[in-house]
Amino acid sequence: MVGLPARGKSFISQKIVRYLSWLSIRAKCFNVGNYRRLAGGSKPNAEFFAPDNIEGQRIREKAVQMAVEDMMNWFYEDDGVVAILDATNSTRQRRDWVLKLCRENAIEPMFLESWCDDQDLIFRNISEMKTTSPDYEGCDPDAATQVFYERIEKYVSVYQPLEEVLDKELTFVRLINVAEQVVINRIETYLESRIVFYVMNLHIKPRCIWLSRHGESVYNLEKKIGGDSHLSTRGMEYARKLPELVRESTGDANLTVWTSTLVRTGETAQFLPYKQLQWKALDELDAGVCDGMTYEEIEKEYPEDFKARDEDKYEYRYRGGESYRDVVIRLEPIIMELERQENILIITHQAVLRCIYAYFMNVPQQESPWVSIPLHTLIKLEPRAYGTKVSTVKADIPAVSTYKEKGTSKVGEPAHCTPAPTIC
Amino acid sequence: MSAILSSDDEEPDTGLDFSNSSFALGNTESTETATPPAVGNHQARTRKRWSSNSGDCRVKLKPPLADGVHTSVNGDYISPGQLYSTESGRLFHAGKILIVLVGLPATSKTLVSVSITRYTRWLGVRTNSFHVSEYRREKAAMDCIKVPLDYFSAKPTTEEGAKLRGMILRDVTDDMRKFFEEEKGQLAVYDALNIIKSERKRLAETFESLNIKVLFIESVVNDVNLLNRNVEMAANSFDYQGWSKEDAITDYVKRLKLNKSLYEEMTPEEGLSYVKYINFGEKLSVNKNYHGFLINKIVFFLMNLRDKKGCVYFARCGTSDKDKYIDDEDLNEKGIEYSKVLTDTVLEQINKRRMEQNDTPVYGENLASASSLNSLASENENPLVPTSATMKRTESLGKTNLRQYASGDGTDDDSFVVWTAPRKRTYDTAAFFLEKGIKVRQCSQLQQLHPGMVSDLSEDDIIEQFPTEYKEYMKDPYHHRFPRAESYHDLAVRIEPLLLEMERMCGDILIIGHESTLKVLYGYVVACSCHDIPSLKFIRDELIEISFGPFENKVTKIPLTVENKGERVNEPTNTRM
């Protein structure tokens, strides 16, 4: 990464790691700030970052050495594929050092610079930083902002942005004011192009994503999976209550509602006073021949399938239907579009929500199909620089549970598995 | 025999015309495997992910040799990689988009517009490209007029030229509007000079007032070699049929000069949304990027698009004794012989083409004739004739001040890589390439179509054991999944990353794969619709060569024969799925 502090570098790094991991590509971020704190530079003042502060320089130098060493070890010992060196790398000298090191190890690095002169954007990043960065823990917020501005100044004096002529031999990407303008130079591998594509879809404006399953359906009551049934009476009640729940959570903010093309999500969304879009890709995991059966019926009729699915739920594909992996693949465009959008409320189905939830919360692949997402609950996701904040609101309308634990065909909510409001 | 079920069987008969089949649509008697009776399933899904009539297919038994990228698409077109469809028939909720190419002659505008059309169509976007040059040629032919030279200038100097230019541009604009308004079009690609600022402004205003987003793609070439190459390519185009090369180049350079002084390069101050595409993707800059997923996807594609000198070769893998899906068998004798013949034929083909291309460096005296090919190859311990790109790479190897090329990865003009599926049979078919030091890569995406429960069954067995499934399959062979199996559509979706990798390879690629994967890849390079793909056929006796042209891709079939005997390597045998 290249760029001054508060340009969203860590945010972008985290996002890339999350996206690649979601797609089963080994990726890891090495944040030099974390190493600096380990190396004895925790809670630094602005002077610490001055180019002529010898002690500060020594610690920062040590931190970057540690980060790079760990990074190279990770490449070799853990079969890493994409490592991100998250630091300012603001001078040409530093970048040349990284370049040399990489090439010695037969790696051609890609530099990704976030350049920004939009003062509002910078201010927002700083506001976020002072509340989430361990450097300013326990500080007075206004004082922290001041210190942070001073800290940025220390970098400005030595900062050398990537240049289209001088650096034309390097593989680099410059994001100007997030992705308003993008310069892409000498992208040579497919994976690089894919990362650039992803980053181009990101924005760092604050926004929220709300997730909800459809209201309780007739099939839910009958313990059947799949289908295209209507809402139950209680499901309708949830649909009526949803506008109020959403308003309590959003205030006056505007949002767009995305639903699947199945009847039950449309019915759930019908009272919401916002723009609505239907996506085929948000339809529930297709259970193929098991569509419309209860788990008990499936266990009886397809005992081998029932067992196979519990053993590897992520990979298991229903006869004539889909697996979780299939759903992830078809959701990819949705995730990309979601990254581009601002406030969105998604009303969809259990399996689809699990996949979306896994993406935002970094849930490992094998666990994602087992996440509990109860009916009649509104989940709010707030993407932040260092993770996503989750909170849930229960509608207080009773509904059946459709959660099925491993090794049983009975449905019912497990006590331990509700997504707790955490920062992941 | 239906093409999906049997592969090497060349009988041009029965299965596909399913109106004669005993499983014709009228036969709706249900069997045990049919949809469960309505009891307890009263609210089952009524809509399938695909409409059941999408298999209303045109019957084709052999791969079409013509590139379908210039065939207009109609409202019911479903394309191979289409992930889902929306009610409006428009993908990604991206609305309607007009892409306007901008740039001097010889900046590969046509290639870019054709490639975008091919790719977005494959993704399921209803795209047509509109080439002004095509309109002009048609008009000139129809009215029997000679087009004055100043017509080719963005600002014609004679009244005649101006009138003709105005008329043609108006026709194109009208057709594009019609495409959006009457033909459910989602993306139009407008291939013309568009080098004048005021012209661009007018276009943007006209179409934006119709609620169509406008994106400009400006192609700039300042690399002299690239420019010369483009001029040479243009001199081979339809316009110069029957001309001598020198005359054609001179004439084309005149067209270029006419416009050079008029050219107003795009700048951010113009306030338009545009992508600057420099030296064919060496550098890209995206400005005012507010357009949505589809546009980013196109930029993603442009990052991977290369002006390909090399060819893509498709070949089947060799045979093994049982040829079963489930066994990972060794090749049998015939299979080994096949792979030898394949290796020799491909290398010979590539060397022949490289000798014809004039950037081959000359080593001493011995390169003058094709007969010295072999001696040259062995001298360098490389079975391929080296080109200037090889020299460049050797020079930079291991030096920290120079860029490290991902060697053998196919980014250079002269690279040659063999892609195989991760199965022993396909991998072993490439053994002789490996022996000669050529890079062989196993790609998991090339894994053959998973046949599920119908693996290793003959068509008759399938009819007997899975009558309902078979009936469904015949209705829509592209999207149907047999129990536990993949559909062609599933295969296409998982192969997409490989398509972009294929686009970014400048050199030669040989893809050794199972028939099912070859069908899908072939479907992309020659723009087949999903109705065609399942019925394509690839036999073992033929190597398919795809060469890439700016306007269309060309398919050549090269017989794989054992030298001296003149007979084909493989007798047609009846293999199963």
Rounded Cα distance, B329 and B255, in Å: 60
Q: Cβ of A191 under 8 Å from any chain B Cβ?
A: no
Query: Tokens representing A135?
Result: 């450097």
Closest CA to B474 of B520, B531, B517: B531
Closest CA to B94 of A347, A279, A248, A204: A279
Q: Render pLDDT for A378-397 as a digit per residue (tens, 0 to 9).
A: 999 998 766 788 999 999 89
Q: B404 and A107: CB-CB below 8 Å?
A: yes
How far from chain centre, in Å, is Cα A141?
27
Mark whether A224 and A171 lie in a shared domain.
no
**Residue of A99, A165, A193, A295 for testing the chain B interface, max B β-carbons within 10 Å:** A193
Measured between its terminal Cα atoms, the distance across chain A in Å is: 22
A419 in any annotated domain: no
Q: Which chain A residue has its CA at the smallest distance from B496's CA? A: A329
A134 in any annotated domain: yes
pTM (predicted TM-score): 0.76
Q: B45 and A289: CB-CB below 8 Å?
A: no
Helical (H) or strand (E) element with B417: strand B416-420
Rounded Cα distance, A250 and A252, in Å: 6
* Residues forming beta bridges with residue A294, ordered by sequence position: A224
Of A178, A201, A224, the position where a domain reaches its end is A201
A417 in any annotated domain: no
Q: B93 and A261: CB-CB below 8 Å?
A: no
> How confident is residue B272, by pLDDT bands cut at 50, 70 and 90?
very high
Mark whether A195 and A215 lie in a shared domain.
no
Q: Which chain A residue has its CA at the smallest distance from B49's CA? A: A280
Asked whether residue B361 carries a pLDDT value surpassing 50, the answer given is no
B125 contacts on A by Cβ (under 8 Å): none
Strand A275-278 versus strand A256-259 pairing type: parallel
Dihedral, CA of residue B236, residue B238, residue B243 and residue B249, to nearest 10 = -50
| Stretch B521-525: mean pLDDT | 92
Q: Which chain B residue has its CA at the smallest distance from A330's CA? A: B83
A421 in any annotated domain: no
Q: Which chain A residue has its CA at the smallest distance from B407's CA? A: A106
A107-111, A147-151, A320-324, B229-233, range with the lowest pLDDT: A320-324
Which CATH number belongs to the domain containing residue A248 in this structure? 3.40.50.1240
Annotated binding site of A: 213-220, 264
Mark whether A174 and A256 lie in a shared domain.
no
A286-295, B108-117, B282-291, B546-555, range with the lowest pLDDT: B282-291
Q: Which of B44, B287, B304 sits opposite A228 (nearest CB)?
A: B44
Average pLDDT over all residues of chain B = 77
Mark whether A194 and A83 lie in a shared domain.
yes
Asked if A407 contacts A371 with a C-beta cutoff of 8 angstroms, the reply is no
A247 in any annotated domain: yes
Q: What are phi and psi of A155, to 5 degrees?
A: -80, -35
Q: What phi-psi label fits residue B69: left (phi over 0), alpha (psi between -120 and 50 degrees) or beta?
A: alpha
B10-24, B415-429, B501-515, range with the lowest pLDDT: B10-24
B32-41, B380-389, B412-421, range with the lowest pLDDT: B32-41
Q: Cβ of A25 under 8 Å from any chain B Cβ?
A: no
Identify which has the larger pLDDT, A129 or B79: A129
Write out the catalytic residue numbers of B. 191
Query: Tokens representing B142?
Result: 């129809």
Domain extent for A373: 209-394
Asked if B126 contacts B73 with a C-beta cutoff of 8 angstroms, the reply is yes
Q: Which of residues 271-310 of A touch B (CB under 8 A)?
A: 277-281, 283, 286, 288-289, 291-292
Rounded Cα distance, B495 and B503, in Å: 13
Q: B44 and A227: CB-CB below 8 Å?
A: yes
Annotated binding site of A for substrate: 213-220, 264
> How confident is residue B439, by pLDDT bands cut at 50, 70 and 90?
confident
Rounded Cα distance, B88 and B84, in Å: 12
* Topology alike, domains B97-304 and B311-358+383-450+486-559: yes
Q: B406 and A108: CB-CB below 8 Å?
A: yes
Q: B286 and A103: CB-CB below 8 Å?
A: no
Q: Cβ of A182 under 8 Å from any chain B Cβ?
A: yes
Query: Tokens representing A53?
Result: 């502060």
Rounded Cα distance, A71 and A83, in Å: 7
A410 in any annotated domain: no
| Stretch A346-355: mean pLDDT | 96
Q: Which residue has the tokens 């084709």?
A: B60
Asked whether residue B44 carries a pLDDT value surpassing 80, the answer given is no
Strand A387-394 versus strand A256-259 pairing type: unpaired
Which CATH number belongs to the domain containing residue A70 in this structure? 3.40.50.300
Burial class (CB in 10 A: 0-12, 13-18, 19+), A233: exposed
Q: A108 and B296: CB-CB below 8 Å?
A: no
Q: What are phi and psi of B419, to 5 degrees?
A: -105, 135
Q: Which chain B residue has its CA at the smallest distance from A200's CA? A: B296
CATH of domain B97-304: 3.40.50.300
Domain ranges of chain B: 97-304, 311-358+383-450+486-559
Query: Which residues make Cβ contacts (< 8 Å) with residue A269, sequence separation at least 6?
Result: A239, A242, A257, A259, A276, A347
Q: B43 and A219: CB-CB below 8 Å?
A: yes
Asked whether residue B362 carries a pLDDT value surpassing 60, the answer given is no
Mark whether A241 and A167 lie in a shared domain.
no
Q: Cβ of A200 under 8 Å from any chain B Cβ?
A: yes
pLDDT at A43: 81
Rounded Cα distance, A274 and A271, in Å: 9
**Residue of B277, B283, B415, B490 for testing the chain A interface, max A β-carbons within 10 Å:** B283
pLDDT at B164: 93
3-state secondary structure of B535: helix
Q: B406 and A188: CB-CB below 8 Å?
A: yes
Asked if A114 contacts A175 with a C-beta cutoff of 8 angstroms, the reply is yes
Q: Cβ of A180 under 8 Å from any chain B Cβ?
A: yes
Of A173, A201, A229, the position where a domain reaches its end is A201
Strand A171-176 versus strand A110-115 pairing type: parallel
Mark whether A228 and A364 lie in a shared domain.
yes
A420 in any annotated domain: no
B45 contacts on A by Cβ (under 8 Å): 226-228, 262, 291-292
Q: Render pLDDT for A147-188 as a digit per residue (tens, 0 to 9).
A: 889 999 999 989 999 998 899 889 999 999 887 889 999 988
Rounded Cα distance, A325 and A22, in Å: 10
Q: Which chain A residue has its CA at the smallest distance from B495's CA? A: A329
Average pLDDT over all residues of chain A = 88
Q: What are phi and psi of B13, to 5 degrees?
A: -130, -135
Q: Cβ of A196 under 8 Å from any chain B Cβ?
A: yes
Q: Count structural domains, chain A.
A: 2
B500, amino acid identity: L
Asked if A272 contacts A246 with a C-beta cutoff of 8 angstroms, the reply is yes
Q: Which of B46, B86, B411 sits opposite A188 (nearest CB)?
A: B411
Query: Which residues make Cβ contacts (< 8 Å) with residue B242, sequence separation at least 6?
Result: none
Asked whether residue B390 carries a pLDDT value surpassing 70, the answer given is no
> How confident is residue A422, by pLDDT bands cut at 50, 70 and 90?
very low
Best CATH choice for the domain B311-358+383-450+486-559 from the list 3.40.50.1240, 3.20.20.140, 3.20.20.20, 1.10.1040.10: 3.40.50.1240
Asked if B270 contacts B204 with a C-beta cutoff of 8 angstroms, the reply is no
Q: What phi-psi label fits residue A295: left (phi over 0), alpha (psi between -120 and 50 degrees) or beta?
A: alpha
How far from chain centre, in Å, is Cα B457?
32
Q: What are phi and psi of B216, to 5 degrees?
A: -100, 140
B73, amino acid identity: V
Q: Which of residues 85-144 of A touch B (CB under 8 A)?
A: 99-100, 103-104, 106-108
Full 3-state SS string of chain A: CECCCCCCHHHHHHHHHHHHHHCCCCEEEEEHHHHHHHCCCCCCCHHHHCCCCHHHHHHHHHHHHHHHHHHHHHHHHCCCCEEEEECCCCCHHHHHHHHHHHHHCCCCCEEEEEECCCHHHHHHHHHHHHHHCHHHCCCCHHHHHHHHHHHHHHHHCCCCCCCCCCCCCCEEEEEECCCCEEEEECCCCHHHHHHHHHHHCCCCCCCCEEEEECCCEHHHHCCECCCCCCECHHHHHHHHHHHHHHHHHHCCCCCEEEECCCHHHHHHHCCCCCEEEECHHHCCCCCHHHCCCEHHHHHHHCHHHHHHHHHCCCCCCCCCCCCHHHHHHHHHHHHHHHHHCCCEEEEECHHHHHHHHHHHHCCCCCCHHHCCCCCCEEEEEEEECCEEEEEEEECCCCCCCCCECCCCCCECCCCCCCCCCCEC
A289, amino acid identity: V
A411 in any annotated domain: no
Asked whether residue A360 carries a pLDDT value surpassing 80, the answer given is yes
Tell me the C-alpha to C-alpha distance, in Å, between residue B340 and each of A113, B433, B435.
50, 9, 11
Asked if B455 contacts B484 with a C-beta cutoff of 8 angstroms, the reply is no
Q: How many CB pairs under 8 A join A and B?
A: 147
Q: Which residue has the tokens 């062609």?
A: B488
Write out the catalytic residue numbers of A. 86, 214, 284
Rounded Cα distance, A219 and A232, in Å: 9
Tell me the C-alpha to C-alpha distance, in Å, between residue B3 and each of A155, B532, B533, B574.
65, 11, 9, 12
Mark whether A189 and A219 lie in a shared domain.
no
Q: Calculate how close chain B gets to A220, using CA atoms only, in Å.
A: 12
Mark whether A235 and A380 lie in a shared domain.
yes
Q: Render pLDDT for B441-495 as a digit per residue (tens, 0 to 9).
A: 888 788 888 887 788 888 899 999 999 889 888 888 888 878 767 788 878 877 8
| Stretch A350-373: mean pLDDT | 92
Would you tell me how many other CB atoms lie within 10 Å of the CB of residue B191? Answer: 24
A187 contacts on B by Cβ (under 8 Å): 281, 303
Q: Which residue has the tokens 């794989």?
A: B560
Mark whether A136 and A50 lie in a shared domain.
yes
Mark whether A148 and A243 lie in a shared domain.
no
Tell me the C-alpha to C-alpha distance, in Å, between residue A183 and each of A114, A116, B108, B225.
11, 14, 20, 23
Mark whether A239 and A306 lie in a shared domain.
yes
Q: What are phi and psi of B399, to 5 degrees?
A: -95, 125
Helical (H) or strand (E) element with B156: none
| Stretch A35-57: mean pLDDT | 87
Q: Which of B43, B406, B483 sits opposite A229 (nearest CB)?
A: B43
Q: Which residue has the tokens 């199965």?
A: B423
B500 contacts on A by Cβ (under 8 Å): 190, 193
> How confident is residue B420, by pLDDT bands cut at 50, 70 and 90?
very high
pLDDT at B167: 93
**Residue of B30, B43, B120, B220 for testing the chain A interface, max A β-carbons within 10 Å:** B43
Q: Which of B281, B285, B504 sits opposite A181 (nearest CB)?
A: B285
- Helix%, strand%, coil% for chain B, nearest 5: 40, 15, 45
Asked whether residue B264 carries a pLDDT value surpassing 70, the answer given is yes
**Residue of A23, A100, A197 for testing the chain B interface, max B β-carbons within 10 Å:** A197
Query: Tokens representing B121?
Result: 């169509």
Asked if B527 contacts B330 with a C-beta cutoff of 8 angstroms, the reply is no
Asked whether residue A311 carries a pLDDT value surpassing 80, the answer given is yes
Mark whether A30 and A160 lie in a shared domain.
yes
